[in-house]
C-alpha cells in the first residue's frame, strides 16, 4: 500500500442552496489510480474539482471541510491557487485544446510558470510531455499545426500532455474517455497505466469496466455521499454495501 | 385606395387558410385517400397563391399607371393644340392639368386645359375601375388554379417550400440590385467629374477648395481654367483629415471599449452586468447631432480655454474635440460587441487554462482574447467605418476648412463633411463642384471596401478556431 497523498475530511460542497457533497472522507494514495464511480449527478466531478480548487471559478459554489495534500490544507483562503494547480493538473470530459498550435498548447503552462526560459528548454519540455502522453510519434512533424485539427483521441492525449507539461504531482481526470471511441479509449487507458508510475491519478468514470482495468482503488458515490471505498478488486467482487452491489451489477444508475 | 385593396386582399387570402385546411380534410375523408401533406400546408398554399399574384399585379400596375396616363394626356393635349417646346414645358402643363382636376389651380384656365382636365379625370376613373376588375380576375384565376391543384392532392409541402424559396430569393435580389444601383449612379457621376478633372490631380492634389471652382461652360474648359480648377479639387487634405479624426476616435474608443467589454464579460457579476450594459448601450442611442453640439458647444470651448491658459492657440473647432466625442460615441459598439464575442468563447477553454495554473488575466490575455479575436476585430472595424462615415459631429465640431495638418488643435475637415457642404443649397448638376461630391462618395466607398478586405484577410490569417 502506497502512502496517502490526498486526504479529504468532512468535505461539503454547496451550489447555491443545493448541497452537492455530504461529509466526504476519502484518502487517495500516491502513485496509484483511484477511480470514482456512481450515477450521474452524484458528486464525483464536484469532488475532484475540489482537489485543484476549480470550483472557485463557479460563483455560487461554496466548499466547507478540509482537503490536505501531503498534509497541507488546500481549502484555505490564503492558499496560492496558481501553485496548487501547478501541482494538481486536470483533464476534462471533452477534449479542450486551445485554438493554438500543438506546440503552443504544450508550452503554454511552462511559459506561465516561468519554466523553460530558452527555446531549447521549451522544446525539450514539449517533446518530453508529448512522449509521455504517447502522442509524439504522431505529431512530431506538425507541431505548428492547430491542436484543434487533431482527432478526438489525439486531442485528449494533447490535453493530457498539456497537464503533464507543468510537471504536476496529481492528475485529475474527469471522464476523460466519454467522448472517445474504443480504440482511443484503449490508448488513453494504456497511458494511464504508464502515468501512474510517476503521478497520483484520480479518474471519474461511468464505465465500470474501465474502473476495473485502470484503477487500484475505487470509490462509489451516490447522491453526494461516498457510499463505499476500497480496493478495486474488492469493490467489484465483494462489496460491503448493498447499494454498491446494485450499482455495479447494473440494477440502478 | 391602394391600401384598402391590399388590406382586402390580405384579409381574403388569410381567410382562405381555414377553407383550404378544412377542404382538404374533407377531401381526404370523402375519397378515403392519404394527403400528401398536412392540411395546414394546403391552407398556406391557398393563402400564397391567392395573395402573391394579386399583390404583384397591384404593384406593377401602380408603377406604370401614372406614366401611361401622363403620356396619354400630354398626347391628347398636343393634339388639341397645346404648345410646348421641350419635356419641361410638357411636365408643367401636365402638372397644371392635375391641379385643375384636384381643384387647387388658380391661374387662367383655357379650353385646352379644361378639356384635358376633364379627360384626365375620365382616364383616372377608367384606370381605377379596370384595376379593381383586373385584380378580381387575377385573384379568381389564381384561386381556381390552386383549388384545382388542391383537389388533385398536390404535394403542397414541396410547393409551399418552393414559393417561399422564391420569395426569399426575390428579397435578396432586391437588396443586391439596390446596392448595385447606388454604386453605378456613383460611378457614372464620378466619371463625369473625372472627365473634367484628371484623376491623378484629384487623388494627389493637396488643396481642396471647391467653392473657387466657377466654370462658365463645363464642356469647354481652357488650359488656364483647368490649372485653376485642378487646384480646387485635391483629395489629400480630406483623406488626411478623415483618417486623423478617425484615428483620434479609435484611440479613445478601442482601449476603453475593449477593456469595458472584457470587464463586463469576465469580471462583472451578473447583477452589475445587467444594470451597466444597457447604460453603456444608451450611448449608442444618442443621436449624433446631440453629440455634435456637445462637442461644439462644450468640449471645443473647454479645450480652447485650457489651451489659452497654458499659452497655446487652440481653434474652437478642433480635430481633437470632434475625434474625442466621436470616440465616446463609438465606445458602446466596441464594448457591447466584444462583450458578446468574449462571452461566446467556451468555458472549457478557460477551465483548461486555469487547470494548468494560469491566473484570470493570463487566461484572458492568452486564451480568451486570441479565441475571440476575429469578433473583436470585426467590432473594431464596424467602429472604424462608423468613424469614417460619421458626418454630423465633424460638421459641428471640427470645422469646414480643409487644412492639411497633423496638429489636433487646429480645425480640419472630412470627406463626408465636404459632401454635405457641396450638396447643401442650390446646385447646378453639370458643374464639377457638384460632381465632385459623387467622386468623393466613390472614393470613400472604395476606401472602406479596401479596409474591409484587408481586415478580413487579417482575420482569416490570425483566427484561432475553436469548436
CATH number at residue A208: 3.40.50.300
Q: Does B367 touch chain A (CB under 8 A)?
A: yes
- Predicted local confidence at residue B221, as pLDDT: 67
Q: Does B51 touch chain A (CB under 8 A)?
A: no
Domain presence at residue B253: yes
Domain that holds residue B387: 236-462
Give me the half-sphere count of Cα atoms (radius 13 Å) on the Cβ side of residue A194.
Answer: 12
Contact A219, A27 (CB under 8 A): no
Domain presence at residue A208: yes
List of chain A residues whose C-beta atoms are within 8 Å of the C-beta of residue B357: 81-86, 109, 112-113, 166
Which grid coordinates belong to B37? Answer: 401533406
Q: What is the pLDDT of residues B256-290, one digit of tens each?
A: 999 999 999 999 888 898 898 888 888 888 898 99
Contact A97, A158 (CB under 8 A): yes
- Predicted local confidence at residue B466, as pLDDT: 58
**Separation CA B229–CA B210 (nearest Å):** 8
Tell me whether residues A85 and B349 touch, CB distance under 8 A.
no
DSSP A54: G
- Predicted local confidence at residue A104, as pLDDT: 93
ipTM of the complex: 0.90
Domain presence at residue B359: yes
CA B151 to chain centre: 46
- Predicted local confidence at residue A105, as pLDDT: 93
Residue (of A32, A37, A25) closest to A5 by Cα position: A32
Tell me whether residues A108 and B358 touch, CB distance under 8 A.
yes
Residues B324 and B445 both lie in one domain: yes
Q: What is the pLDDT of residues B387-411, one digit of tens each?
A: 888 888 888 888 777 777 778 888 8
Domain presence at residue A27: yes
CB burial class (10 A; 0-12, 13-18, 19+) of residue B86? exposed
Identify the domain boundary among B119, B136, B154: B154
**Separation CA B183–CA B199 (nearest Å):** 18
Average pLDDT rounded to a whole number, residues B172-200: 91
Mean pLDDT estimate for chain B: 86
Domain presence at residue B287: yes
CATH number at residue B440: 1.10.3720.10
Domain presence at residue A85: yes
List of chain A residues whose C-beta atoms are within 8 Å of the C-beta of residue B462: none
Best A55, A59, A98 member to test B by mutation, with max B CBs in 10 Å, is A98
Contact B245, B394 (CB under 8 A): yes
**In Å, how far is A140's CA from the nearest CA of chain B?**
21
User: Smallest Cβ distance to A146: which of B354, B355, B465?
Assistant: B465
Tell which B residues from 253 to 272 touch A, by Cβ distance under 8 Å.
269
Domain presence at residue A216: yes
Domain presence at residue A210: yes
The percentage of residues in chain B with a pLDDT greater than 70, rounded to a whole number, is 97
CB-based contacts of B49, cutoff 8 Å, min separation 6: B142, B143, B145, B146, B163
Domain presence at residue B243: yes
Q: What is the pLDDT of residues A133-158, one digit of tens each?
A: 889 999 999 999 989 889 988 999 99
User: Smallest Cβ distance to B354: which of A54, A146, A159?
Assistant: A54
- Predicted local confidence at residue A49, as pLDDT: 92
List of chain A residues whose C-beta atoms are within 8 Å of the C-beta of residue B465: 99, 146, 148
Identify the domain boundary among B111, B130, B154: B154
Q: Which residues of A touch B (CB under 8 A)?
A: 52, 54, 57, 59, 81-86, 89-90, 92, 94, 96-100, 108-109, 112-113, 146, 148, 159, 162-163, 165-166
**Separation CA A209–CA A248 (nearest Å):** 10
Find residue A66's DSSP bridge partners. Answer: A9
Best A16, A85, A104, A162 member to test B by mutation, with max B CBs in 10 Å, is A85
- Predicted local confidence at residue B355, as pLDDT: 92
List of chain B residues whose C-beta atoms are within 8 Å of the C-beta of residue A162: 352, 356
Q: Cell 462644450, residue?
A: B298
**In the predicted structure, residue A246 carries a pLDDT above the cut 70:** yes
**Torsion over CA: B347, B350, B352, B355 (sign):** negative
List of chain A residues whose C-beta atoms are within 8 Å of the C-beta of residue B370: 99-100
List of chain A residues whose C-beta atoms are within 8 Å of the C-beta of residue B353: 98, 108
**In Å, how far is A216's CA from the nearest CA of chain B?**
25
Identify the domain boundary among B121, B136, B154: B154
Domain presence at residue A253: no
Tell me whether residues A148 and B466 touch, CB distance under 8 A.
yes
**In Å, how far is A123's CA from the nearest CA of chain B?**
18
| Structural domain total, chain B | 2
* DSSP-assigned states of every residue in B111-178: HHHHHHHHHHHHHHHHHHHHHHHHHHHHHHHHHHHHHHHHHTT--HHHHHHHHHHHHHHHHHHHHHHH
List of chain A residues whose C-beta atoms are within 8 Å of the C-beta of residue B356: 85-86, 89, 108-109, 112, 162-163, 165-166
Domain that holds residue A244: 4-248
Q: What is the pLDDT of residues B416-445, one digit of tens each?
A: 888 888 888 777 777 788 888 899 999 999
Structure confidence at residue B220 as a pLDDT band (50, 70, 90): low
Best B268, B345, B347, B356 member to test A by mutation, with max A CBs in 10 Å, is B356
**Separation CA B13–CA B163 (nearest Å):** 15
**A63, B93, B344 from B106: Cα distances, Å:** 90, 14, 68
Average pLDDT rounded to a whole number, residues B311-317: 79
Average pLDDT rounded to a whole number, residues A208-219: 93
User: Smallest Cβ distance to B358: which of A54, A84, A112?
Assistant: A112
Residues B149 and B242 both lie in one domain: no
Average pLDDT rounded to a whole number, residues A66-81: 89
**In Å, how far is B255's CA from the nearest CA of chain A?**
24
Tell which B residues from 335 to 364 touch A, by Cβ distance under 8 Å.
346, 348-359, 362
| Structural domain total, chain A | 1
Domain presence at residue A72: yes
Reduce the DSSP state of residue A170 to 3 states and report it: strand
**In Å, how far is A236's CA from the nearest CA of chain B?**
31
Query: How many other CB atoms are there within 10 angstroms of residue A251's CB atom?
Result: 10
Domain presence at residue A66: yes
Residues B317 and B436 both lie in one domain: yes
**In Å, how far is B369's CA from the nearest CA of chain A?**
11
Residues B264 and B129 both lie in one domain: no
Best B353, B357, B358, B368 member to test A by mutation, with max A CBs in 10 Å, is B357
For residue A61, the surrounding DSSP H or E stretch is strand A61-69
Structure confidence at residue B153 as a pLDDT band (50, 70, 90): confident
Q: Does B459 touch chain A (CB under 8 A)?
A: no
Amino acid at each position: 500500500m502506497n502512502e496517502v497523498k490526498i486526504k479529504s475530511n468532512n468535505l461539503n460542497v454547496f451550489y447555491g442552496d443545493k448541497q452537492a457533497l455530504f461529509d466526504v472522507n476519502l484518502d487517495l494514495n500516491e502513485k496509484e489510480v483511484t477511480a470514482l464511480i456512481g450515477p450521474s449527478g452524484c458528486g464525483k466531478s464536484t469532488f475532484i474539482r475540489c482537489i485543484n480548487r476549480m470550483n472557485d471559478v463557479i460563483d455560487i459554489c461554496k466548499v466547507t471541510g478540509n482537503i490536505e495534500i501531503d498534509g497541507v490544507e488546500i481549502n484555505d483562503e490564503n492558499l496560492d491557487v496558481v501553485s496548487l494547480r501547478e501541482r494538481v493538473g486536470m483533464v476534462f470530459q471533452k477534449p479542450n485544446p486551445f485554438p493554438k498550435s500543438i506546440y503552443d498548447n504544450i508550452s503554454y503552462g511552462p511559459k506561465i510558470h516561468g519554466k523553460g526560459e530558452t527555446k531549447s528548454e521549451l522544446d525539450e519540455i514539449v517533446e518530453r510531455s508529448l512522449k509521455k502522453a504517447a502522442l509524439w510519434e504522431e505529431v512530431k512533424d506538425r507541431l505548428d499545426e492547430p491542436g484543434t485539427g487533431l482527432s478526438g483521441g489525439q486531442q485528449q492525449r494533447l490535453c493530457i500532455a498539456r497537464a503533464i507539461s507543468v510537471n504536476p504531482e496529481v492528475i485529475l481526470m474527469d471522464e476523460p474517455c466519454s467522448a472517445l471511441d474504443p480504440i482511443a479509449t484503449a490508448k488513453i487507458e494504456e497511458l494511464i497505466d504508464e502515468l501512474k508510475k510517476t503521478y497520483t491519478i484520480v479518474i471519474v468514470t461511468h464505465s465500470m469496466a474501465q474502473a476495473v482495468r485502470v484503477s487500484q482503488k475505487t470509490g462509489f458515490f451516490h447522491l453526494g455521499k461516498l457510499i463505499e471505498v476500497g480496493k478495486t478488486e474488492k469493490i467489484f467482487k465483494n462489496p460491503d454495501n448493498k447499494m454498491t452491489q446494485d450499482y455495479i451489477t447494473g440494477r440502478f444508475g | 385606395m391602394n391600401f384598402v385593396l391590399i388590406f382586402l386582399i390580405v384579409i381574403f387570402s388569410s381567410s382562405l387558410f381555414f377553407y383550404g385546411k378544412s377542404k382538404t380534410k374533407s377531401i381526404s375523408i370523402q375519397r378515403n385517400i392519404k394527403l400528401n401533406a398536412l392540411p395546414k400546408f394546403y391552407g398556406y398554399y391557398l393563402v400564397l397563391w391567392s395573395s402573391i399574384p394579386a399583390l404583384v399585379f397591384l404593384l406593377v400596375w401602380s408603377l406604370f399607371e401614372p406614366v401611361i396616363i401622363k403620356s396619354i394626356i400630354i398626347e391628347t393635349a398636343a393634339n388639341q393644340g397645346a404648345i410646348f417646346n421641350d419635356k419641361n414645358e410638357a411636365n408643367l402643363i401636365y402638372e397644371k392639368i392635375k391641379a385643375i382636376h384636384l381643384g387647387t389651380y388658380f391661374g387662367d384656365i383655357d379650353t385646352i386645359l379644361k378639356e384635358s382636365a376633364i379627360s384626365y379625370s375620365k382616364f383616372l376613373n377608367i384606370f381605377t375601375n379596370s384595376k379593381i376588375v383586373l385584380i378580381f380576375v387575377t385573384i379568381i384565376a389564381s384561386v381556381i388554379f390552386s383549388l384545382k391543384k388542391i383537389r388533385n392532392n398536390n404535394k403542397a409541402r414541396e410547393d409551399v417550400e418552393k414559393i417561399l424559396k422564391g420569395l426569399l430569393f426575390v428579397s435578396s435580389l432586391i437588396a443586391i440590385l439596390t446596392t448595385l444601383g447606388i454604386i453605378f449612379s456613383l460611378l457614372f457621376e464620378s466619371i463625369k467629374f473625372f472627365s473634367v478633372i484628371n484623376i491623378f490631380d484629384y487623388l494627389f492634389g493637396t488643396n481642396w477648395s471647391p467653392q473657387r471652382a466657377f466654370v462658365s461652360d463645363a464642356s469647354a474648359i481652357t488650359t488656364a481654367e483647368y490649372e485653376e480648377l485642378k487646384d480646387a479639387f485635391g483629395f489629400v487634405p480630406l483623406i488626411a483629415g478623415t483618417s486623423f479624426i478617425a484615428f483620434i476616435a479609435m484611440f479613445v474608443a478601442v482601449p476603453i471599449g475593449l477593456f469595458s467589454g472584457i470587464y463586463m464579460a469576465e469580471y462583472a457579476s451578473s447583477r452589475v452586468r445587467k444594470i451597466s450594459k444597457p447604460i453603456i448601450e444608451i450611448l449608442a442611442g444618442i443621436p449624433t447631432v446631440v453629440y455634435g453640439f456637445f462637442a461644439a458647444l462644450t468640449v471645443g470651448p473647454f479645450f480652447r480655454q485650457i489651451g489659452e491658459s497654458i499659452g497655446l492657440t487652440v481653434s474652437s473647432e478642433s480635430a481633437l474635440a470632434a475625434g474625442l466625442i466621436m470616440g465616446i460615441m463609438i465606445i458602446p459598439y466596441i464594448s457591447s460587441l466584444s462583450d458578446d464575442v468574449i462571452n461566446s468563447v467556451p468555458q472549457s477553454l478557460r477551465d483548461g487554462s486555469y487547470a494548468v495554473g494560469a491566473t484570470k488575466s493570463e487566461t484572458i490575455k492568452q486564451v480568451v482574447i486570441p479565441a475571440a479575436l476575429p469578433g473583436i476585430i470585426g467590432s473594431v472595424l464596424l467602429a472604424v467605418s462608423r468613424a469614417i462615415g460619421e458626418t454630423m459631429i465633424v460638421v459641428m465640431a471640427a470645422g469646414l476648412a480643409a487644412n492639411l495638418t497633423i496638429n489636433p488643435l487646429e480645425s480640419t475637415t472630412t470627406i463626408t463633411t465636404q459632401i454635405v457642404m457641396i450638396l447643401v443649397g442650390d446646385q447646378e448638376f453639370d458643374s464639377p463642384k457638384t460632381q465632385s461630391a459623387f467622386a468623393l462618395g466613390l472614393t470613400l466607398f472604395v476606401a472602406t471596401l479596401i479596409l474591409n478586405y484587408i481586415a478580413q484577410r487579417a482575420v482569416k490569417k490570425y483566427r484561432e478556431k475553436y469548436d
